[in-house]
Amino acid sequence: MSQHDERTDYTAHHNHTPAATTEHDHASEAATEHDHTAMSQDHAAPHDGTGHEGHAGHGGHGDHVGQFRRLFWIMLLLAVPVVGFSMMFSMILGYPLPGAAWVAWVSPTLGTVMYVWGGAPFLTGAVSELRARKPGMMLLIALAITVAFLASWGASLGVLHHELDFWWELALLIVIMLLGHWIEMRSLAQTTSALDSLAALLPDEAEKVAGDTTITVAPADLQVGDVVVVRPGGRVPADGRIVQGSASMDESMITGESRPVRRSAGDPVIAGTVATDSGLRVEITAIGDDTALAGIQKLVTEAQSSSSRAQRLADKAAGWLFWFALGAAAITAIVWTLVGQPDAAVIRTITVLVIACPHALGLAIPLVVSIATERAARGGVLIKDRLALESMRTVDTVLFDKTGTLTKGTPAVTAIDPVTGADADQLLAWAAAAEADSEHPLARAIVNAAKEKNLTVPRSTDFESSPAVGVRARVDGRVVQVGGPYMLEQEHATELPVADEWRGEGAIILHVLVDGQVTGALRLADEIRSESRHAVDALHERGVQVVMITGDADAVAASVAGELGIDRYFAGVRPEDKASKVKELQNEGRKVAMVGDGVNDAPALAQADVGIAIGAGTDVAIASAGVILASDDPRSVISVIELSRASYRKMKQNLWWAAGYNLLSVPLAAGVLAPVGFVLPMSVGAVLMSLSTIVVALNAQLLRRLNLSPDAVVDK
């Protein structure tokens, strides 16, 4: 850091009084302290939630959750009489039906309602898959229910054999598939919108200067050249240039830099940033889509749309089974016709097409995801996006944001250097006593350091705070001063030799004077989380490369990376560059998981193969991510990896079981064993269907045994 920057940092310290704690201009304000509570959603940008392209018509997952839930319960009620009054179902179970004429029409009538109403999502999706020439789950379901519907009507009207009365199978298939998709939509529903959260960073109103007064206008009504007033603690409504005043600007939500930056007349300011200590007059230089915040919104939108194109495992399996069913049906029809049994050809072909869509397939993935999501939540991990859960197992690079993720985002005393003959604990106790009346983050860091060491801090009197210099207080009859370089100049004192080393590491340096003599120096820096080292080591054990990205200076980044054993780091990175750094890693052929907590991380979180947000971070970061960590423990990333791998194993097992049902039942239903006198009865096919579903459900339940606590996964 330059001498100028260093002096700015120290100038910021102690520019406060006990009574005016809002006037804190300290260089190490925590990046995580963003005030979103007063932000309105009025500025919310539209977000259509089109991130589920594998199933046609599934945009807007929140709406689909309610739709599938309502549809499932309605169809379940209708399914009871459809199944109960089905002639074939009564024959399979061996119970008699009433002799009334109307009984024969209950299943056809209500079954038709179920097909048209309950089957509509699948039929619509099938049309879209056909148009896209990408057969998947929707087409497979639509094929089964359509064939079952037509065959059942044929049987009910006496046109086809009574064995083709599949009303009961049609009803059960629709109900179970709706249940599966309800579960699926619930797991895919996004709880919040990244774009809404970004827009919420803008203030609701702007104070526009009009002559000798100000008028309140909406930020959208501002024009280039307008002058606005930004009050202390207020947000800049649009990109601009300061024309009057100076303030320490909290730009962490945009740049990721953990320290407020001093901006004066002539300096640019960015929409959404906060004037922490003083009022400003700002001339607007960019509005609307030209602002930096709008640029971040665009990056998030692009990254979200590009990451949603991946085809999921279940759709691939369904596509294979669709072609398998058609092929098996065609062969069945041809063979039975050639052997001179056209009636058997019709029955066998229709039976193959109906049972080719196993109930288990509709539940294989959704059940695993639902249980995995529930299990993850108990372990402090919220899964917002199923694709993120599936992808995490293949991640070979984890990109951590520094401030607020690997570090706490707040300053802490990391080293004490007393002069010869002085005691370090005594030095810290004196400094804590002098800072006791201050609420400034650095002062709190010094006081907390003394508390952690269980030091006895003496009482202080005659507290004074001098702007740009430091604090002074009387402690045990001695005059104790704490401050930066301006204090040393004023007292004609010289900094300790260790200051050069600490400065090279990007640390903040405060000297302590006792009765005008330099007694020692304190090193303050963003405190590294104790769990970060364990997280990095655990990732290395799993063959995962660890990379750090930050808006902080290179010296700070190098110090943290060296202490944690991080493989690579990117320093001084702006938001647009964060997303490009993710792309750079992806272009190297790496599967990247990004872990962050700030607005500046949002484009990178959306661009990454898996975005993981720290739950204590900003709404924007949380909305942009597919996985959210409820705690700030970086070891939870390991929990996500373990959960992903375990879930994928269960998905494969369930899909193989569902496919195994087809591989067994379809050839038997087609009549491959007819030469030896065995053709699969529909009753046996029904039992196999049920068994397949039960096995899939029980297998998914085994996920509940997972222990996803950070301590457990790191110790594996």
Q: Per-residue pLDDT tens for 656-669?
A: 887 777 777 788 87
Ranges 170-179, 502-511, 557-566, most confident: 557-566
Name the 3-class secondary structure at 178: helix
pLDDT tens-digit readout, 485-506: 888 988 889 999 999 888 887 7
Q: At what angle do helices 682-701 and 359-378 cross, to 10 degrees?
A: 10
Q: What is the mean pLDDT of residues 150-165?
A: 83
677 contacts: CB under 8 Å, gap ≥ 6? none
**Gap between the Cα atoms of 288 and 238, Å rounded:** 8
Which amino acid is present at 268? P
Instruction: Match 């018509």 to its residue by tokens.
Output: 57
In 133-215, which residue ranges form alpha helices assigned H by DSSP? 137-156, 167-188, 194-199
Q: How far, CA to CA in Å, does 26 sit from each of 13, 14, 198, 411?
A: 5, 8, 26, 10
What do you get for the CA distance between the two ends of the chain, in Å? 41
At 162, the pLDDT band (50, 70, 90 cuts) reads: confident
Contact 553, 585 (CB under 8 A): no
Give yes or no: 401 in active site: yes
Q: Are 42 and 204 in contact (CB under 8 A)?
A: yes
Pair 670, 331: CB distance under 8 Å? yes
- The fraction of the chain above a pLDDT of 90, given in percent, is 21
Categorize the per-residue pLDDT at 307 as very low, low, confident or very high, splitting at 50, 70 and 90.
Answer: very low
Q: What single string gives the DSSP state of each residue in 432-454?
A: HHHHTT--SHHHHHHHHHHHHTT
* pLDDT, tens digit (0-9, with 9 covering 90-100), for 259-292: 677 888 999 998 888 888 788 999 999 887 777 6
Choosing from 401, 437, 601, 632, the catalytic residue is 401
- Cα–Cα nearest to 395, from 565, 543, 187, 531: 543
Structure tokens that stand for 669 in this block: 């239903």
Region 383-396: what's the mean pLDDT?
82
Q: What is the pLDDT of residues 30-61, one digit of tens each?
A: 333 333 323 333 333 333 333 333 333 334 44
- Amino acid type, 284: I
Which tokens in the block code for residue 337?
């016709």
Regarding predicted confidence, which is higher, 623 or 171?
A: 171
Q: What is the mean pLDDT of the chain?
A: 78
Compute the average pLDDT of residues 580-587.
Answer: 93
Q: What is the pLDDT of residue 192?
A: 37
pLDDT for the residue 569: 93
Tokens linked to 358: 């196993």
How far apart are alpha carbons 181 and 448 in whole angstroms? 52
Please, which residues bridge with residue 413 across strands?
524
The alpha carbon dihedral of 94, 99, 100, 102 has a sign of positive
Q: Residue 428 — very low, low, confident or very high, per pLDDT cuts 50/70/90?
A: very high
CA-nearest of 700, 701, 695, 690 to 359 is 690
Separation of alpha carbons 192 and 62, rounded Å: 10
